[in-house]
Amino acid sequence: MKKVLVTGADGFIGSHLTEHLMEKGYEVKAFTYYNSFNSWGWLDSLPKEKLQQIEIFQGDIRDPNGVREAMKGTDGVFHLAALIAIPFSYHSPDSYVDTNIKGTLNVLQAARDLDMERVLITSTSEVYGTAQYVPIDEKHPYQGQSPYSATKIGADRLAESFYRSFDLPVTIVRPFNTFGPRQSARAVIPTIVMQLLSGKEEISLGSLTPTRDFNYVKDTANGFYEIAVSGQTVGEEINIATQREISIGDLAHELIRQINPKAHIVCDEQRTRPEKSEVNRLLGCNEKILRLTGWKPRYSFEQGLAETIEWIREHMNTYKTDIYNV
């Protein structure tokens, strides 16, 4: 592959992946969400000389014709465009079906018609629900514990069907919880860090007992790249995971220790998921990605946290620190 399309290139992981692919010598076309502000999301924060090397295509992943137009002239696609916030999916599930399922179908249909070399579909560890065994490998059952995770399960199964039915060279990439610079305030690490950096001594959080397996975003981006260049990953579903877990409570206490030891945690009911919807434990198995690709984590959790805190400190003006961000 020489030229690739990244959908969701304006987002958190997508912008990092776009940079990473450029560093690896790819010509990148970035599919960004059309809006009247002419905003290209996080790509707007890249240096001008880097941005000039990216071909921007503004569109809507829900529109099959726009998706097909964007994919013309490319050899492969990294499909990351999605709605991802779980609380928002509770009251607006239709938009998740349209974006996550129909959007993925649009990519798959166009890729089939255009005879693409590689198609990487982005999944999420949320498709597994609460761990029934750990570490969670790719054979773990799926459980739709939120409308968000249900639509991602649907998108994954559509992708599998195109591989099995039409021999489309699909790989389903399943990152566990990614964090790092540019992540939105709806995610747990930025929400804790921004509250601490804004001087609050009462840190509002939901449930503290769930555990998560956190990937630093640069490791996640490299995971996509290594999966794409491996000759053994077509037709596979592959976790990107560190195989380490930490509870939200322990994470919060570590960030408090680093930033403001005087702060303490208070439980905010509106941040608590419905009981049967909360994913209580996520600990991913990374045996498959280590076996099939050249990937391994390059950043420790501590390194990643330090870079994230520093980035948020320099970009506090981009966050709304006095509301609950969904």
pLDDT in tens, 255-268: 999 999 999 998 87
Residue 83 lies in a domain: yes
Residue 117 lies in a domain: yes
How are the residues of the chain apportioned to helix, strand and coil, as percentages rounded to the nearest 5? Answer: 45, 15, 40
What does the pLDDT look like over 92-144, one tens digit per residue?
999 999 999 999 999 999 999 999 999 999 999 999 999 999 999 999 999 99
218 three-class SS: helix
Report pLDDT for 313.
94
Residue 204 lies in a domain: no
Residue 71 lies in a domain: yes
Burial class of 249 by CB neighbour count within 10 A (0 to 12, 13 to 18, 19+): middle
Check residue 284 and report its DSSP letter. Answer: B
Residue 208 lies in a domain: no
Output the CA angle 85-216-303, nearest 5 degrees.
135
Residue 270 lies in a domain: no
Q: Record the pTM.
A: 0.95
Pairing assessment for the beta strands 211-212 and 246-247 based on DSSP bridges: antiparallel
- For the chain, list the strands marked E by DSSP: 3-7, 27-33, 55-59, 76-79, 118-122, 170-175, 178-179, 202-205, 211-212, 215-216, 237-240, 246-247, 264-267
Split at pLDDT 50, 70, 90, the class of 317 is confident
What does the pLDDT look like over 192-246, one tens digit per residue?
999 999 999 999 898 899 999 999 999 999 999 999 999 999 999 999 999 999 9
Residue 114: alpha-carbon gap to chain centroid: 26
Split at pLDDT 50, 70, 90, the class of 325 is low
CATH number at residue 171: 3.40.50.720
Residue 104 lies in a domain: yes
Structural domain containing residue 143: 3-179+215-240
Give how many domains the chain has, as a whole number: 1
Question: In this structure, which amino acid lies at residue 1?
Answer: M
Residue 20 lies in a domain: yes
